[in-house]
A and B are shown apart, each in its own frame.
Chain A
């Protein structure tokens, strides 16, 4: 059989397996099968490529695979579930740089020949997007792992520096596309793209990282796609489009959940322009003791728990599961209401709760749980703040106005587990704390939960 035909035939099978892999992620029951099918597709594609006539020596391939697989196994098995976002950011960066090196290698071998217009455009886009993906992901990784401060880093003239870099990349790009034999253009564009990646992500705050990761995910797909055009490979184009679409969809979902536009997140420098909300609500928040809170929970027939990232920071997921079991033993129905931006990346909170052995059919999306809220006896807010602030519904002057929230205030009684009345990330005071049906259980979330659990045990 013709070798090239065989290779492309295997690529088609791989593409189908990748598509099924994503399709099976549509349900938690079939998701693991999907992941296996997808990795099988990858294995087939790589093995088939290794038989290609273009490959004449294997030593360097073996060296590279050995290093990469070793590092991959090490990082993947060691990462805690709270560290998944930073790990994914690191993987995006490495994938982006790997693709750029493939393009560079192809360019290095052919630059003296006359490259076609499409090849040089694809090369240009590859090194631009790949460079931005690499350094942008590294900065995101640094922010998520708190190796660099998560606060938006702003300096004077930042906008002008960014605009001039973008302009330079654009002009050099035209020059490069018209004269692809000039190696210097290639290198300067790559260097500027690396710089641009850093400058684009440092002004973005830690809480906006779910959007940044999604956008970088999309970029890592786009690079694979443009690389496909550089080396004329169909599979790269198919996969790149799938991943690109994935990142775009997730970015849109995250932005909607924060009621902000993508441009506002990426270029807004959120946190720098904070309105001083001069609301001096002189109302009293009503504190409650652990004993009284346990009594309220004991008589509850239905409970909705709203977890925020504070829950994960306090490492309280397992205690929540314990409380959840005790409530169920008491004949109570327990649901978890998950806001899309509850974690550090899309869907992150679900993973954190699944890790604590909480059954996934108890994890409800915001839109699924809101209509039920008025029938709920007790709502428990743990480590969440802005996502339950009713001001988002009615207070037009509030910076978070319009953001979709979990309407926990409509539950008959609400317990808020919180250290103090301090405002959340957006710097907005939460009027929920002063509502008549709300009781504040002050203190460390984990300790309060442990207190509730032991109160139940003694009953």
Chain B
């Protein structure tokens, strides 16, 4: 069987997984949710490191490789850090007069 069909299979199930997980997130946390989702979309870094590290020859491929690594790393690091900063602020009061 064409291995491609597995990719579509995974695609279909992942979409369901995404809907199931995300509808459970309360509106309270929608901003951190979006910044975390944004951070994980930087996963294309794993494609970028191959583009940058596979012995690029021309100036164009070097440029594409380096910039894709830089852009996706920026996306990942910025996204996770800002999510962490936000989540740290969500506190529950311990005493009513706190």
Interface residues in chain A, defined as those with a beta carbon under 8 Å from any beta carbon in chain B? 18-19, 21-23, 25-28, 31-32, 34-35, 38-39, 41-42, 45-46, 49-50, 52, 54-58, 60-61, 63-65, 67-69, 71-73, 75-77, 79, 81, 84, 87-88, 91-92, 94-95, 97-99, 101-102, 104-106, 108-109, 118, 213-214, 217, 220-221, 223-225, 227-229, 231-247, 249-250, 253, 325, 328-329, 338, 340, 343, 345-348, 350-351, 354-355, 357, 359-363, 365
Contact = CB atoms under 8 A, between A and B. Distances in A.
Contacts of B48: 64, 98, 101-102
26 contacts: A19-B17, A25-B32, A25-B33, A38-B80, A57-B55, A61-B52, A67-B73, A67-B74, A73-B77, A81-B89, A84-B31, A91-B79, A92-B38, A95-B71, A98-B42, A98-B72, A101-B67, A220-B38, A239-B43, A241-B18, A242-B37, A244-B15, A247-B34, A350-B90, A351-B89, A354-B86
A46 B29 contact: no
User: Which residue among A46, A65, A217, A348 has the maximum number of chain B CB atoms within 10 Å of its CB?
Assistant: A65
A42 B31 CA distance: 20
A75 B46 CA distance: 22
B45 A360 contact: no
6 tightest A-B CB contacts, nearest first: A68-B73, A64-B69, A245-B18, A347-B30, A72-B77, A98-B71
B66 to A, nearest CB: 4
A221 B37 CA distance: 8
Tell me whether chain A's interface is mostly helix, strand or loop, or mixed: helix
B16 to A, nearest CB: 8
Contacts of B73: 64-65, 67-69, 72
Q: How large is the interface on B (under 10, 10 to 19, 20 to 34, 35 or more residues)?
A: 35 or more
A350 B27 contact: yes
A87 to B, nearest CB: 6
